[in-house]
Amino acid sequence: MELTTANMVFAFRTLTVTTRKAAGGTATTNKYTETFFEANPELKGQVVVHCGVEPEVPGELGENTRLDSSNYPPEVGGLHFVFKTWLGDDLVECFPVLLVSDRLKIALKKSDLTGYLFQELEQSVDELIYENLQPEVTIPKFNWFVLGKEKNDFALIIKTI
C-alpha cells in the first residue's frame, strides 16, 4: 500500500508588484507555467514556486488536551485527539497540531529529513459519529508530529522560474 498524501497546493508568488486586475474564467489547459509566462513574460526568472500541503482534518482536540491559548499559535502540553472520520491520509491535522501514521513515522525516520520529533498522544474515536460513517475502516495508530521552531526540512521552496 502506498503512502497517501494530502492535496498539494501550488501557487505563484511574484517578487515584483503588479497592478493587473485578476479575472475569473475557465482553464482550457493544464500547462499553467507555460500559459502564465505567455501572459507575463517580464516575470520569467522572478517567480518562486512554493509547494504546501493541506492535510485532512479528521477530528478534533479531545477533552484531555492541555492547551495554553495565551500564545499564538497555542502551545499544546498534552494531546488528546478524537477521530470522527478518516479518509486514509498518513498526515492529518487539527490546529495547532499535526499527526502522522506509524507508517509515515517509519518512513520519516529512514529519511535524511531533520527538524522534527514525535510525541505521544491519546488517540480515540467518536463512536457515535464514526461507527455510523465508516464502520468498516480501522484507524491506525497516529503520532504527534512536532516541527522545530528554528529550522526544519518541511518548509518547501522548490525553485525560482
pLDDT digits (tens, 9 = 90+) for 60-89: 999 999 999 998 889 999 999 999 999 999
User: What's the pTM value of the predicted model, to 2 decimals?
Assistant: 0.65
Note whether 62 and 124 are within 8 A (CB): yes
The pLDDT, as a whole number, for residue 27 is 66
* 16, pLDDT greater than 80: no
Q: Over 80: is that where the pLDDT of 24 sits? A: no
d(C-alpha 153, C-alpha 113), whole Å: 6
More confident residue, 119 or 73: 119
- 126-152: average pLDDT: 83
Residue 130 has what pLDDT? 76
pLDDT at 101 over 70: yes
DSSP state of 4: P
First to last CA, the chain: 34
Model confidence at 23: pLDDT above 70? no
* 7 confidence band (pLDDT: 50, 70, 90): very low
CB atoms within 10 A of CB 130: 20
